[in-house]
Amino acid sequence: MNAVSGNTFYDLPGVSGEYLLRREQPEHPNDLMEQPYVRELVGQVAGRSFVDLGCGDARYGNTLLDEGAESYLGIDGSRKLLEQARLTSDRMRVQHTDIEQWRPDTAVADVVTARMVLHYVADLESTLHRVRSALRPGGTFVFSVEHPTVTSCYDYADSSDFPRAWLVRDYFRPGPRKVDWMGASVIKHHRSIEEYLAALEAAGLCFTALREGRPHTDHTSEEVMRERQHVPMYLIVKAVRMD
C-alpha cells in the first residue's frame, strides 16, 4: 500500500472513524502521557487567545473554551475530522487548511498549540516561522510529537509489536518514515530532539521547557503503568516568542 502524507491520511476510508473510536478508549496513551504535560506547559487558559494546529475534531478547543479561553481557532487538513468538530460544537472556529499552506494573521494569538501533528510536516522550519508570526510578543508555543525514539524505527518495526520489539535505529538520520497505522500507510517525519530545538531557535522561538511523556499515575492501573514505561512515546516542548 502506498503511503500518503499526513494532511490526506485522516480522510482515507475508515481512518477518521477508527481514530475517533480509539480516542474514546479508557486509558488512551494521549490522556495518560501527553495531555497532562500540554496542560502544564500551556498554563493559564482564561482570557487568552488560542490557535490550534492539527486540531482534528477540535475536542481540545471545547476544553479551552470551557476553561475561559478568549478565543479559539482550529486548523486542520482533514475535512472529515473538521466535520466532526462542527457537529460537536458551534462555538469554535475551525478552518480547513493544510498546515504547510497555513498563512496566519500576524500577532493574533497568545498561545499556539500543535498537538501530535508536526511529525506529519515535511517543512518544519517554514511552519515554525509562521507560528512565530502568529504569536503576540511574549506568546507561548506548545507542541507535542511522537518521541524521536519511536519515529526513528518506523522503517523497521511492526507497530503492532510496540513496545516489546522496538529497537532504536538510524536515530540521527532525519527524514520521512513509512508506518502502517489504522489500516493505511502514512509518512511521518523523524527528527532528533536536537533538531526540533534547533528549528525553534532558527525560527526565533526561545525554548523554555521539555517533557518526555512520563506516564501520568492518575486513574490508571499498575499494569498499564508498567507497560507504558518501556519506551518514551511523546515529546512535549514549550517555547516563547521573545522580541
Tens of pLDDT, residues 179-203: 888 888 899 999 999 999 999 999 9
Of residues 159 and 180, more confidently modeled = 180
Tens of pLDDT, residues 73-104: 999 999 999 999 998 878 889 999 999 999 99
The reported pTM is: 0.91
Structural domains in the chain, CATH included, are 6-145+192-224+232-241 (3.40.50.150)
Residue 24, pLDDT > 60, answer yes
Residue 4, pLDDT > 90, answer no
What is the chain's alpha carbon radius of gyration, rounded to the nearest angstrom? Answer: 17
Residue 220, pLDDT > 90, answer no
Cα separation, 239 vs 141, whole angstroms: 5
Per the CB < 8 A criterion, the answer to whether 116 and 37 are in contact is no
Tell me which residue has cell 480522510.
Answer: 11
Q: What percent of the chain has pLDDT over 90?
A: 62
